[in-house]
């Protein structure tokens, strides 16, 4: 489905009977590697994908929201407590902007998206960042990438109540086409890494919602593990700061399953740095190997995979992929696959057919390169 300015503008016009003054859009993301490290002070390596959420906006009183693709009947909301559902992300952003005196008095917003929700592709960050850009533009200002990422992060973390890290919002705000972003989550340092090839997204067909609890539970386990690690190592800033050489010693002190969680964090930190270096020199075979190791670590140590993702990874490798792994938080969502161009489409189709035979119908695979981040498509 090709989404463009015309579609979101006509969607706004049909709903509100007038033209919008602003259009903003923001992409989803995949994480190539570096999973569950952004709240453990480690490096992550995501990139923005070619599917986006678009918001057309005009001035209004209160918030009139309409979505063509996120489950939508027109909704009217006033600032106030969260209610559950997609409109909370917009209201959470509004609350942040209000605190900074950067919110319009109200707005009419039409949202269209070709980004599936619940697929582990950060549809929530795309929605929040597009909202941040559109609402600020209604006040005649422009929000810079850091401020927009911060408002979107606080909306999701503080208002919606998912104790996420900052990876998704940062890459959605700052991504450049043809590049992945190596983000050091302890310092916030960012470095662009070349990613000029296409990758495949293989949906598991299992919707996940971060508000469901598994994610927050893992985060709490990491916090407990950090406390225990700090007994012998009081200066340890975060779990990703553990040296690999110290791992076996530390693991002996940790009760299960905290030992496995820490092993994931420490080994994934090393893999992510190696993957960034491999991308720099164009060594895709090494990137693929690291992705597979990363998947095994999510499956066995972080224990956030699902049988459907394991089956997709295994089948993709059997059909010639260089690597494949669960991407995003887990408990469903999507697998990202890397394959030589000549076999990518066939390997993706074969892996998804295998999935369908074992578990029943699932969405089709699709490919994406690295896209650009949040932008204003129409300014007042």
Q: Cβ closer to ligand GLA: 44 or 107?
A: 44
> Which of 145, 157, 137, 117 has the alpha carbon at shortest distance from 55?
137
Query: How many CA atoms are closer than 13 Å to the CA of 110, on its beta-carbon side?
Result: 23
CB 168 to ligand GLA: min, Å: 5
- Residue 225: CB minimum distance to ligand GLA, A: 16
Rounded least distance, CB 98 to ligand GLA, Å = 23
Nearer to ligand GLA, 95 or 166 (CB): 166
Using the minimum distance from each CB to ligand GLA, give the nearer residue, 35 or 301: 35
Provide the minimum distance between the beta carbon of 274 and ligand GLA in the complex, in angstroms, as a whole number. 17
Cβ at position 118, least distance to ligand GLA in Å: 12
Give the nearest distance from C-beta 187 to ligand GLA in angstroms: 17
C-beta closer to ligand GLA: residue 38 or 259: 38
Nearer to ligand GLA, 205 or 328 (CB): 328
The residues binding ligand GLA (CB under 6 A) are 31, 35-36, 38-39, 164-165, 167-168, 328-329
* CB nearer ligand GLA, residue 104 or residue 330: 330
Active site residue 301: no
Q: Which of 168, 259, 301, 377 is catalytic?
A: 168
The residues pairing with 23 across neighbouring beta strands, listed in sequence order, are 56, 378
Tell me the catalytic residues.
168
């Amino acid at each position: 489905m090709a989404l463009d300015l015309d579609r979101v503008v006509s969607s706004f016009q049909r709903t509100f009977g007038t033209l919008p003054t602003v259009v903003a859009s923001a992409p989803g993301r995949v994480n190539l590697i570096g999973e569950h490290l952004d709240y453990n002070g480690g490096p992550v390596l995501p990139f923005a994908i070619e599917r986006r959420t678009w918001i057309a906006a005009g001035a209004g009183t209160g918030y009139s929201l309409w979505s063509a693709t996120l489950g939508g009947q027109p909704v009217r909301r006033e600032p106030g407590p969260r209610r559950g559902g997609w409109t909370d992300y917009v209201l959470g952003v509004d609350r942040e902007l209000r605190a900074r005196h950067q919110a319009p008095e109200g707005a009419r917003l039409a949202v269209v998206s070709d980004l599936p929700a619940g697929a582990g592709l950060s549809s929530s960050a795309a929605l929040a960042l597009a909202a941040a850009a559109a609402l600020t533009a209604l006040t005649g200002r422009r929000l810079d990438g850091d401020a927009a990422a911060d408002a979107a992060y606080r909306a999701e973390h503080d208002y919606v109540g998912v104790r996420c890290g900052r990876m998704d919002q940062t890459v959605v705000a700052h991504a450049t086409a043809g590049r992945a972003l190596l983000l050091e989550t302890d310092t916030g340092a960012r470095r662009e890494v070349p990613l000029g090839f296409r990758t495949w997204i293989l949906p598991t067909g299992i919707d996940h919602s971060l508000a469901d609890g598994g994610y927050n539970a893992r985060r709490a386990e990491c916090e407990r593990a950090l406390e225990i690690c700090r007994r012998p190592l009081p200066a340890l800033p975060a779990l990703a700061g553990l040296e690999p050489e110290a791992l076996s010693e530390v693991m002996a002190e940790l009760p299960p399953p905290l030992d496995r969680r820490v092993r994931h964090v420490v080994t994934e930190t090393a893999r992510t740095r190696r993957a960034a270096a491999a991308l720099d020199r164009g060594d895709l075979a090494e990137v693929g190997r690291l992705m597979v190791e990363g998947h095994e670590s999510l499956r066995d140590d972080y224990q956030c995979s699902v049988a459907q993702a394991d089956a997709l990874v295994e089948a993709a490798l059997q059909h010639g992929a260089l690597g494949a792994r669960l991407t995003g938080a887990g408990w469903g969502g999507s697998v990202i696959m890397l394959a030589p161009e000549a076999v990518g489409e066939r390997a993706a189709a074969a892996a998804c057919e295998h999935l369908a035979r074992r578990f029943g119908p699932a969405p089709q695979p699709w490919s994406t390169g690295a896209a650009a981040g949040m932008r204003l498509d129409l300014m007042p």
